């Protein structure tokens, strides 16, 4: 097999792992806390990190961004709680996750299979489905949070969505996401994909794109506290239920206040239902009171809701949804709506309803 690279926080432990793999000169180590740059060109990447803290996740993400090619399999070894580690590893885009204490025969078999490409991608959906599923797993970890989700988890989700939209068409992303069985997962991942494509259309750099996608992933976090009977009601809401639902921006904002989130991200969560003419909620903001980042999310959010299938409404074709955006006139930023036209066009084609 080709060269294997182990990313580790403990070189002596990883050295024992390398010897167990029997790779001799084919296995190299990279100390995530060392000064050296990670080597490129590995055929297989293994992470062996004792505790996936936000700092080690950040270092892993940075190293993976440098060493991992689009087809390079990545095996994450988890020490401690496997369930939590699996979510974190999925958010990093792991091809396979294994308990670090797994018997060496199992480890060796897994490494051999990955290196041979036998299990590098799940069957039947290809790379995009794999990426969408990993993004969904990250989103589940975000949405289940009682309070503010870990910033590292949200940033990992944003990296995954950004990479997926960079590699694929937004149309295909929406189709894959539409097959998920939870309406909130579908919606927020659709908004994130649209925001990523919007960022690409606007020529935003990677950092700004991920910032926008992070806002998209978080924008409806307040719905985590809305009763599921209202959230998943298979029909239009009563006025009382609508009132309860409309609390989600303020609830989400309160949830994130203790989570070291920046002011702009907090604005996205609180103000994504505000309109420039002051007719939105919860604060009735107007014009310049609504930052550009929020305006971008609002446009992506409305468009996503229109093209999504709901139990009580058929999905609108992209051109109809875009016509509705344009007809909203002074409520939205007309320059940004015009720019969004390229995204809407890329979404055209019959939308595969899933509900
Ligand atoms: Fe919302
Ligand atoms: Fe939304």
Q: Is residue 167 one of the residues assigned to a domain? A: yes
Find the 220 Cα to ligand 1 centroid distance in Å. Answer: 5
Same domain, 132 and 246: yes
Boundaries of domain holding 81: 4-115
Find the 301 Cα to ligand 2 centroid distance in Å. Answer: 5
Find the 249 Cα to ligand 1 centroid distance in Å. Answer: 6
CATH of the domain at 241: 1.10.3210.10
Q: Is residue 161 one of the residues assigned to a domain? A: yes
Find the 208 Cα to ligand 1 centroid distance in Å. Answer: 22
Same domain, 175 and 255: yes
Q: Is residue 353 one of the residues assigned to a domain? A: no
Q: Is residue 354 one of the residues assigned to a domain? A: no
Q: Is residue 327 one of the residues assigned to a domain? A: yes
Same domain, 135 and 218: yes
**pLDDT tens digits for 70-86?**
778 888 898 877 667 77
**pLDDT tens digits for 267-298?**
999 999 999 999 999 999 999 999 999 999 99
Q: Looking at the CA of 273, name the nearest ligand.
A: 1
Q: Is residue 170 one of the residues assigned to a domain? A: yes
Find the 134 Cα to ligand 1 centroid distance in Å. Answer: 23
Q: What value does the mean pLDDT take over residues 24-50?
A: 84
The vertex-53 CA angle with 47 and 57, nearest 5°, equals 50
Count of domains in the chain?
A: 2
The 10 Å Cβ neighbour count of residue 84 is 12
Q: How confident is the model at residue 333 (pLDDT cuts 50, 70, 90)?
A: very high
Sheet with 27-31, side-by-side order of all strands: 27-31, 4-8, 44-49, 74-78, 96-99
Same domain, 207 and 303: yes
Domain final residue pick, 84, 115, 146: 115
Q: Looking at the CA of 187, name the nearest ligand.
A: 2
The vertex-52 CA angle with 255 and 259, nearest 5°, equals 15
- The answer to whether residue 126 scores a pLDDT higher than 60 is no
Same domain, 132 and 83: no
Same domain, 188 and 42: no
Find the 291 Cα to ligand 2 centroid distance in Å. Answer: 17
CATH of the domain at 39: 3.40.50.2300
Q: How confident is the model at residue 340 (pLDDT cuts 50, 70, 90)?
A: very high
**pLDDT tens digits for 229-252?**
888 888 889 999 999 999 999 999
Same domain, 146 and 294: yes
User: Whole-angstrom Cα distance, residue 117 to residue 285?
Assistant: 53
Strand 4-8 and strand 27-31: pairing?
parallel
Same domain, 29 and 151: no
Same domain, 215 and 111: no
Find the 38 Cα to ligand 2 centroid distance in Å. Answer: 39
Same domain, 14 and 151: no
The residue behind tokens 């296995």 is: 27
Instruction: Return the closest-CA partner of residue 73 out of 136, 145, 130, 141.
Output: 130
Find the 259 Cα to ligand 2 centroid distance in Å. Answer: 21
Find the 218 Cα to ligand 1 centroid distance in Å. Answer: 10
Q: Is residue 120 one of the residues assigned to a domain? A: no
Find the 302 Cα to ligand 2 centroid distance in Å. Answer: 7
Domain final residue pick, 115, 139, 161: 115
Same domain, 196 and 323: yes
Same domain, 195 and 222: yes
Domain final residue pick, 115, 137, 163: 115
Q: Looking at the CA of 301, name the nearest ligand.
A: 2
Q: Is residue 352 one of the residues assigned to a domain? A: no
The first and second tokens of residue 78, run together, are: 């988890």
User: Whole-angstrom Cα distance, residue 27 to residue 46?
Assistant: 10
| pLDDT on residue 301 | 97
Find the 351 Cα to ligand 1 centroid distance in Å. Answer: 22
Q: What value does the mean pLDDT take over residues 127-156?
A: 80
């Amino acid at each position: 097999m080709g060269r294997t690279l182990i990313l580790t926080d403990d070189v002596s432990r990883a050295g024992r792992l390398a010897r167990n793999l029997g790779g001799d000169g084919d296995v190299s180590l990279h100390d995530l806390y060392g000064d050296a740059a990670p080597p490129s060109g590995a055929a297989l990447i293994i992470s062996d990190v004792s505790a996936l803290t936000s700092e080690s996740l950040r270092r892993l993400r940075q190293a993976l961004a440098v060493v991992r090619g689009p087809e390079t399999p990545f095996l994450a070894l988890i020490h401690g709680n496997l369930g939590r580690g699996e979510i974190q590893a999925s958010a990093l885009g792991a091809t396979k996750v294994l308990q670090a204490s797994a018997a060496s025969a199992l480890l060796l078999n897994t490494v051999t299979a990955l290196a041979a490409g036998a299990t590098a991608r799940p069957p039947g959906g290809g790379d995009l489905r794999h990426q969408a599923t990993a993004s969904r797993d990250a989103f589940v970890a975000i949405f289940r949070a009682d309070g503010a989700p870990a910033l590292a988890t949200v940033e990992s989700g944003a990296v995954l969505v950004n990479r997926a939209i960079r590699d694929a068409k937004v149309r295909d992303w929406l189709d894959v996401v539409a097959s998920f069985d939870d309406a909130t997962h579908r919606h927020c991942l659709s908004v994130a994909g649209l925001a990523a494509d919007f960022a690409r259309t606007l020529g935003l750099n990677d950092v700004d794109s991920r910032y926008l996608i992070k806002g998209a992933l978080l924008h409806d976090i307040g719905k985590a506290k809305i009763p599921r009977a209202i959230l998943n009601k298979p029909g239009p809401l009563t006025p009382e239920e609508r009132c309860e639902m409309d609390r989600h921006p303020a609830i989400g904002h309160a949830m994130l206040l203790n989570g070291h989130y920046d002011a702009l991200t907090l604005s996205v969560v609180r103000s994504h239902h505000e309109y420039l003419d002051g007719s939105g909620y919860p604060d009735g903001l107007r014009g310049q009171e609504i930052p550009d980042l929020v305006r971008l999310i609002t446009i992506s959010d409305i468009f996503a809701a229109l093209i999504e299938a709901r139990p009580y409404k058929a999905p609108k074709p992209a051109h109809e949804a875009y016509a509705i955006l344009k007809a909203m006139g002074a409520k939205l930023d007309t320059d940004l709506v015009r720019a969004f036209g390229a995204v809407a066009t890329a979404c055209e084609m019959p939308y595969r309803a899933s509900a």
